[in-house]
Structure formats: C-alpha cells, structure tokens
Structure 1
Amino acid sequence: MRYRTTTPADEPGLHALWAAAFPDAATVAALWNRAPGRHGRTFAAEDGAGRLVSALHYQPRPIRSATGRVQRVGCVGGVATHPDARGQGHVRHLLAAAVDAMTADECAWSLLFTATPRVYEGAGWRSFGAPGWSGPLAGRAPHAGAAAVRPATRADLPALRALRDGFDAVRPLTTVRGADDWEHRVPVWYAAPARILVAEDHAASGHAGPVAPASAQAPPGAAPSGTPAGFAVLRHPAPRQAELAEIALAPGREADAAGALLSAAALHARAAGATTATVRLPADAAIVAALPRFLADPVPAPTHYGMARPLLAPAHDVLATVTAPTAFHWYADSF
C-alpha cells in the first residue's frame, strides 16, 4: 500500500471513490474541484493495482475564534474508504499525513464533521456539540409584523452577504465568507429544492405587509423592494422532512425578522409536503422565541458531529471557540 498526495491524473479515481461512499458525491467533487492547491492537500492510499482505496483532503478556511480573531483552520473533508478496503487503518495513516501538512501550512487547529467520531478520536480530534431542535411542523397563521418574506434572487446577493457578515461579526466558529464562497459554495450547498427566504422591512416606508404565501415567487432577477431584515435557508434533507440550516438577522430587527422567517419557512415546508422538521441554528434569544412558529412542539435535539484538534493553537483556545455559547458553523461552509 502506498500513501501519497494526489495528482491531476488521480481525479477520476477520486471521483469514483467518493461516488461509492457519499450520496452527495457530486457536491463533494464540485467543491473540491474549485479548491486552490487541492492536490497537495489531498491524501490517498493506493493499492498494488494502482487503485485509490482511501482518501481525504483538507482546505484552510478563515474561521473566527472565541475572541473574534480570524484564524487559519485546516478543515478536513472528503474522507472515504472503498468498502472492500475498510478496517485496515488507511484513514489513520492519511490523518497523520494531513496533521503534518496542516501544521506546516500554519493552521492553528483542525475542524471536521462526522457521524463516526471514534475513527478520529485516536488521532487527537475531540467532539463538541451544537444546538438543535426537532418536532412536527407548526401550522400557525402567518407572522403579523413589519417584515414581509419572499424567496431570494441573485439580486439579493449583496444584501445576503452584508447580513451574514453583520450577524457573524463576533460569532465564534463561523467562516469569513469571500466572494467566491457566495458565488459558488453557497449555491452548491443550497441548490433546489432548498431555498433562501429573505425578510424585508417595509416599516420605514409605511408599507408593512404579511408574510408572502408559500406559492409566491419573486420574478428572476427582481430587485429588492425593501430594507433586508434577515434571511433563512430551508432545506429538505429527506422526504416529508424540512430543516432550517442558516439564518442571519439585522441588528435591532432580530425578533420581528426571526418570527417572519420561521413562519414563512413553515408555510413553504408544508407546501413542499413536509410534516416534521429540524432546526440547526444557534440558540440566540430571538431564534429560540420564534421556534414555535416553525415547530409545533420544539424538542431539543443537539448534535455532536463537530470535532476539533489543536495544531499550533493552545488546546484551551480551541476548546473556548467550539464551546462558546454563541458558536455556530453554517451548513454552506461545509467541506
């Protein structure tokens, strides 16, 4: 068995390996294909026949720390082993190589998300939790407030970016998104049937309005008609299931925007055939207060998929970041 970094000639083998391991292999490959320096940061196990049987990659990402300082973090993803090569320690070898490379790449620490934490614990990663709730979808009336909600269009991109930057300004564990993230990463992770809902504040102009019905569609490329008060992302991870995966709220408008967005999300989710839902959002006061507008009986459902490993940063600094009360990592920043 040979362990090495990949070359452009390995791309068909990597794509085949990911296709055998992931239901969303096309998404994994699409994002990896755009990653700068990807081959030098992708590690693979090659058998005697020249077949890639195991692989993983890391990508440095700018992530906010507990103090608000932006750190270079080695984000590990694409971890896959062919079914007939599992249980042979390939991932352990690849993780060791990745740790050395991330340290040389001046990454302060490493981040990954997994449903199989035991694979990584022996290599120094430790799990941390994230808030969440689940339950049946709410059937409440539309939110009566100053914010009206509609599906986002590409014309909303500058407003969405500004809302995201403002909401995350001091939020630990969030990624500092650049133009390429908004142009390519966000559309990949939030492709249809997911949708981004925008809340517009018409109070200043005296044109307050109700939540847009689930059937309403803004015309392609339509210009925003009010001041953006927030946005939320509604996903459908499984049949008859919905998930709120991201939110951003404008300062001073948190309560009204959260209520409007969660009410509208429930209407859209029901129109798509969902009956149950999960919420993967931070436990901010405005979000928690608005939960009954999306879930009829919100039940806490925290997750422990996140794992962190110190590299150059002290372990206590990394722990402070991933366990901070307001810490959160958005789905569209997956790797």
Structure 2
Amino acid sequence: MHLRTATPDDVPSLYALWDRAFDAPLMVPVYETDDGRLDRTHVALDPLDGRVVGSVYWTPRELGGPDGDTLRAGGVANVATAPEARGRGLVRALLARAVEQMERDGADVALLFTGTPDVYRSSGFETFDVPLLRGAPRPVDDPDTAVSDPADDALAASAPGPGTEGDAPVQVRTDRLPGVPWPAWSAAFGWEQLAGLHGAFDVVPGGPRPLATRRTAEHWERRIPLWYSGAEVFTARAADGEVVGYLALEPGPGVLKVRELGVDLTAERAGEVVDALARTTLHRARHHDSPVVEVRLPAHALTDRFVAATLDAPVADTDTTGMLRPVRAGSDAVDRLRDTAAAGVGFHWPGDYV
C-alpha cells in the first residue's frame, strides 16, 4: 500500500470509501467546511488501481486545558478502511502519520469520538468518561406557548406594553426544526447571539471549560448549522426580543436528546430561562411521544435545575465515546483532562465533533 496525503484527484474514491463505510450524510458537508482538509487527510492507495482504501483525517482545534489554559488539539475523524484492505494495520499506520503531522503543527493532544475504541488503543488513545442522565419526562400540564418561526414584527407585537418588560415572562420561540433547509443566519436568529450565550455558559472558575472547543466565527457560520440541521433549536427571549437562552434537542427513536443549552450564568433571570427551556423540552418529548429524555450537559447548578424540571427519577449513565492521547503534552495533562470530564466539569459538545 502507498501512504500519502490526499490530492484533489483522490476525492472521488475517497468519498466512495466513506459512502461504503459510514451511514453519515453530514460527513462530507462537514469535511468540506475545512479549507485545508486535503493536506491533513492521510490515505492508503491500492497499488493496482490507485483507489483510496484507507483514510484518516484530522483538523486543528483550540480546547480548554485542565488548568484554565488553552491546548491545541488535533481532532481525528473520517477513519475508514475498505473491507478488502482490512487486517493490514492501515489505520494504525495512517494514525501514526497524522499524529506526526499534528506534532509538527504544535498540537498538544489528539481527540476523537468513536463507537469502536479498541481500534485506537494500540495508537495510544484512551477513552474518557462523560456523565449523563436519562429518565422519563416529567408530566407537563400547561399548554405549549412556544412561538413557531415568527416574523420579526410578530415577535415585537406579542411583547407586553411599555413598563412591563422586566416582569414579562420569558417567551420561547421555535427557530429551527429538522428537515427544514438552513437559511443564512438572520438578524432575528443570529449566530452572534448564540455564541455569546454559549461562551458565558462554557466557562469554569479560572478559565475556559476543559475539553471544550473554543468556537470561532467560522465554526458558527459554517459547521454549527450542519450539526443543528438534524436538531430542533429553540431560543428563549425577553419581551424586547433579546435572546437570553437557547436549546438544541435531537429527537430519535425512543429518546429525546438534549444536545446543547446556552444561558448566561450571571444573568438575573438565568433560572427562569432554564425553567422555560425545560418546559419546552417536556412539550417536545410529549410531541414526539418520547419515553426517555437524555441530558448530557456539563455539571452546574443550572444543569441540576434543568434536570430536576425535566426528568422523573433520572438514572446515571456514562458516554465513553471520547478518546484522547498526548501529542506534545505530557500524559499527566491528558490524565487531568480525563479527570475533569469524569467529574462533569470538562466537556466536549456534540456540536463540536469533527
């Protein structure tokens, strides 16, 4: 087998390999948001016909470190081997090339997510645990008052009159449902509003949240709409239309997953915002007839409040799909990252998967 980085001529057979290997319709669109992708895509070529029969791709990320610092990470994805080429150590060889390139690029750690962790252990990766909770949704008796995709003036018209804005209840608006083509971000639903809330929620005393990606404008503009395309997105709004919280829910067979929650932790009405988004979660669980709601969020008092409002008799579980390995950082730094994740403080959001 011939191993090298990918070229434009490899793209047709590379995509054909991924089509055979994965049931993941977002894989290619997400990959194509990375303008430097080919230079970081390592491929194995069949010596007879030049087809791509193995691949490993990685992309740089800035992550919160274990001590309030920032680490440079290489996010690994799109790992595939054609059935006829398996058993030859291609994944291990391609990962070794990728890690060497990460080291030259200044990466401290490598990060990936997988349902087959044993494939990666021989390449130095070890899993980390992320706590989550599952339970039946609590009963909800009040009517669903969420506003569905209103025009800008409709939102203003529904607001209370002058002098009542501070006492008016938070209103939840439906901004995105699965299957609806994602338009450009708008003034009424702009990424900057969500980014501010995400940044305010994604901190811990002393610095950024360990393991969390430091999202850039490009991530919000290009990648987040793709990850949210299969999710329901809701915003909590004050009477003047200001976005004061948001929620991403992913409906699936038998379970409604809470994928993202964003609230300004320091805001005076943060608890009220969380309560409003929890009620929306219960209404959507009833709409989808979901017997289970899964909450996978970082540890915080507001997360506890959200869980208490949504789950009846929650059961603790663990997500073990994440894996880390040191590159330029010492193994102690990776161990401390893994410890923060197990404690629910370190966290990597599904919207930041590579």
- Deviation by residue 1:178-223 (Cα, 9 ceiling, x = unmatched): 111111111101104x111112244xxxxxxxxxxxxxxxxxxxxx
CA contact (8 A) 2:111 2:322 kept: yes
Give the TM-score normalised by structure 2: 0.82
User: Which residue matches 1:231?
Assistant: 246
User: Which residue matches 2:262?
Assistant: 248
1:12 to 1:273, Cα distance in 2 relative to 1, 3 A: farther
Which amino acid in structure 2 is aligned with residue 107 of structure 1? A
CA contact (8 A) 1:255 1:287 kept: no
- Deviation by residue 1:106-150 (Cα, 9 ceiling, x = unmatched): 111111111111111111111111111112233224599943222
Structure 2 counterpart of 1:263, from 275, 279, 289 = 279
- Deviation by residue 1:224-270 (Cα, 9 ceiling, x = unmatched): x434332111012x334210011111123443222221220121232
User: Which residue matches 2:158?
Assistant: none
User: Where does structure 1 lack aligned partners over 5 or more consecutive residues?
Assistant: 203-224
Q: Distance in 2 between matches of 1:3 and 1:228?
A: 49
Q: What is the aligned length?
A: 310
Q: Distance in 2 between matches of 1:262 and 1:78?
A: 35
Structure 2 counterpart of 1:152, from 175, 191, 211 = 175
**Mapped pair 1:11 → 2:49:** no
**Mapped pair 1:296 → 2:312:** yes
- Aligned CA-pair RMSD: 2.0
CA contact (8 A) 2:72 2:108 kept: yes
**Mapped pair 1:198 → 2:215:** no
> Structure 1 residue 289: deviation in Å?
2.7
User: Which residue matches 2:40?
Assistant: 41
> Structure 1 residue 64: deviation in Å?
1.3
Secondary structure at the residue paired with 2:103?
Answer: helix
Secondary structure at the residue paired with 1:297?
Answer: strand
> Structure 1 residue 156: deviation in Å?
2.7
Residues 179-194 of structure 1: pairs in structure 2 closer than 5 A: 179-192=217-230, 194=231
User: Which residue matches 2:216?
Assistant: 178
- Deviation by residue 1:45-104 (Cα, 9 ceiling, x = unmatched): 111222211111000011111223222210001111223332321101111111111001
Q: Distance in 2 between matches of 1:110 and 1:37?
A: 18
> Structure 1 residue 286: deviation in Å?
1.6
CA contact (8 A) 1:172 1:322 kept: no
Secondary structure at the residue paired with 1:296?
Answer: strand
CA contact (8 A) 2:324 2:334 kept: yes
Q: Distance in 1 between matches of 2:282 and 2:15?
A: 36
CA contact (8 A) 1:199 1:261 kept: yes
Structure 2 counterpart of 1:328, from 330, 347, 352 = 347
User: Percentage identity across aligned positions?
Assistant: 35
Q: Distance in 2 between matches of 1:54 and 1:277?
A: 37
Give the TM-score normalised by structure 1: 0.86
Q: Distance in 1 between matches of 2:283 and 2:236?
A: 14
User: Which residue matches 2:107?
Assistant: 107
Larger mean CA deviation between 286-295 and 10-19 belongs to 286-295
1:68 to 1:156, Cα distance in 2 relative to 1, 3 A: farther
Q: Distance in 2 between matches of 1:23 and 1:296?
A: 33
User: Which residue matches 2:161?
Assistant: none
Q: Distance in 2 between matches of 1:226 and 1:248?
A: 16
1:279 to 1:87, Cα distance in 2 relative to 1, 3 A: farther
Secondary structure at the residue paired with 2:42?
Answer: strand
Larger mean CA deviation between 152-161 and 166-175 belongs to 152-161
Which amino acid in structure 2 is aligned with residue 197 of structure 1? F
User: Which residue matches 2:2?
Assistant: 2
Q: Distance in 1 between matches of 2:141 and 2:219?
A: 35
> Structure 1 residue 167: deviation in Å?
1.4
